[in-house]
Amino acid sequence: MSNDVVNYIKSLYGEDRFIPLHEPRFVGNEKKYLNECIDSTFVSSVGKFVDKFEHMLCEITGSKYAIACVNGTAALHMSLILADVQKDDEVITQALTFVATANAISYTNAHPVFLDSASDNLGLCPIDLQKFINENCEMRDGECFNKNTNRRVKACIPMHTFGHAVKLDEIVKICEKYNIFLIEDAAESVGSYYKGKHTGTIAKVSALSFNGNKTVTAGGGGALLIQDEKLAKRAKHLTTTAKVPHPYEFNHDEIGYNYRMPNLNAALICAQLEQLEAYVKNKRETASLYREFFKETEFEFIDEPKDCKSSFWLNAVLCKDTEQRNEFLKTTNDNNVMTRPVWKLMSELAMFKDCQKSKLINAKNYEARLVNIPSSVRLNNE
């Protein structure tokens, strides 16, 4: 069965060489903008491409504000600072995510709490979120506190896994009710929409990533999408060393961060963003082909959830069980088709093993059975 998969994926990409999971495509103005950037000598943390990038992001996503960041992890860290997460607060996220989400929470000296994915959606389960609050939390002076730990539950970071949006309406409602600051980890969902809105524009603050394996890349890079003017100004200030503007004097009015995106990286991402729409169209076509192909197999294709128009950043299938998954991984990788199991659950990593968690029934099921399959933009698609 896995052999059929190998042959199908090779036919899809029209090549007999090694097929990676996700490789970048540079078919537009990348070299032109990079040359312009180098010729200008503005290759570092100021330059016109950084401004252009932020404008383009607002235009594409409909966000009120966009702030460039050096990478997605830094954007997540800054999101938590903007949410006023303090030492010993608790921040809720999903156990099934990339490690950056949990690491960023730790950078603020807050405690991550790992909750389950939905049964029909890889992202944070709103039912499990409500259950955690019902069983553990109470309101004190308008803030949510965990009665067992006596800590404030300050923020919640759902993650749009592989480009598929979480059940945002339900999660927004719960976070509003309990005064929990919502941050979307939209690192994987550039080009994805939830009920017609670009992911990352529903929460007041969200983080995007433009790492090399993402739908479009800056080489390395990230951004904040922000819907509040004061927070956007604060984000720009804090990510640029908290320097007070002055023609020549150095004055910094608080501890800031050098989370600026170099103009070189901004030049690359500007060229990439020009192609985002075409890339997402191409990736959605690949997903349709996979959907049809896997219908005839024992593997279950992970489709876009209800209310979501997904970028299908990374396609995935569910195997029957771990044994079948291991066979799938071995056959494909032995035959030059790169596939990968999903991440280990955060609650199983050494540094997070003592964190609070729920039963994680769905997350454990996904972890045992899920495989990612090649999803790069197909160049032979014309």
- Toward ligand PLP, which CB reaches closer, 199 or 275? 199
Cα separation, 374 vs 315, in Å, equals 7
- Toward ligand PLP, which CB reaches closer, 5 or 155? 155
Could you give the angle at which helices 263-273 and 30-40 cross, rounded to 10 degrees?
A: 150
Contacts 24+ apart (CB under 8 A), 323-329: 324/298, 324/369, 325/368, 325/369, 325/370, 325/371, 327/2, 328/2, 328/5, 328/299, 328/371, 329/371
The binding site for ligand PLP (CB under 6 A) comprises: 71-73, 76, 97-98, 100-101, 159, 185, 187-188, 209, 211, 222
The position carrying tokens 């969902």 is: 189
Q: Which amino acid is at 363?
A: A
Q: Output the smallest distance, CB 207 to ligand PLP, in A.
A: 7
- Toward ligand PLP, which CB reaches closer, 6 or 373? 373
Could you give the angle at which helices 168-177 and 126-136 cross, rounded to 10 degrees?
A: 20
Q: Output the smallest distance, CB 227 to ligand PLP, in A.
A: 20
- Toward ligand PLP, which CB reaches closer, 90 or 185? 185
| Runs of H (alpha helix) within the chain | 2-13, 30-40, 48-61, 72-82, 99-107, 126-136, 168-177, 229-239, 263-273, 276-295, 322-334, 361-369
Cα separation, 17 vs 5, in Å, equals 15
Write out the DSSP string of 206-251: EEEE--TTSSS--SS-EEEEES-HHHHHHHHHHHBTTBPP-SS---
- Toward ligand PLP, which CB reaches closer, 98 or 178? 98
Q: Output the smallest distance, CB 279 to ligand PLP, in A.
A: 17
- Toward ligand PLP, which CB reaches closer, 73 or 347? 73
Q: Output the smallest distance, CB 308 to ligand PLP, in A.
A: 16
Measured from each CB, the residue nearest to ligand PLP is 72
- Toward ligand PLP, which CB reaches closer, 209 or 240? 209
Q: Output the smallest distance, CB 148 to ligand PLP, in A.
A: 28
- Toward ligand PLP, which CB reaches closer, 128 or 185? 185
Smallest CA-to-CA distance from 201 within 181, 180, 226 is with: 226
Query: What's the gap between Cα 273 and its chain centre?
Result: 16
Q: Output the smallest distance, CB 11 to ligand PLP, in A.
A: 28
For the chain, the 3-state helix, strand and coil shares in percent, each to the nearest 5, are 40, 20, 40
Q: Output the smallest distance, CB 99 to ligand PLP, in A.
A: 8
Q: Output the smallest distance, CB 173 to ligand PLP, in A.
A: 23
The position carrying tokens 């280990």 is: 344
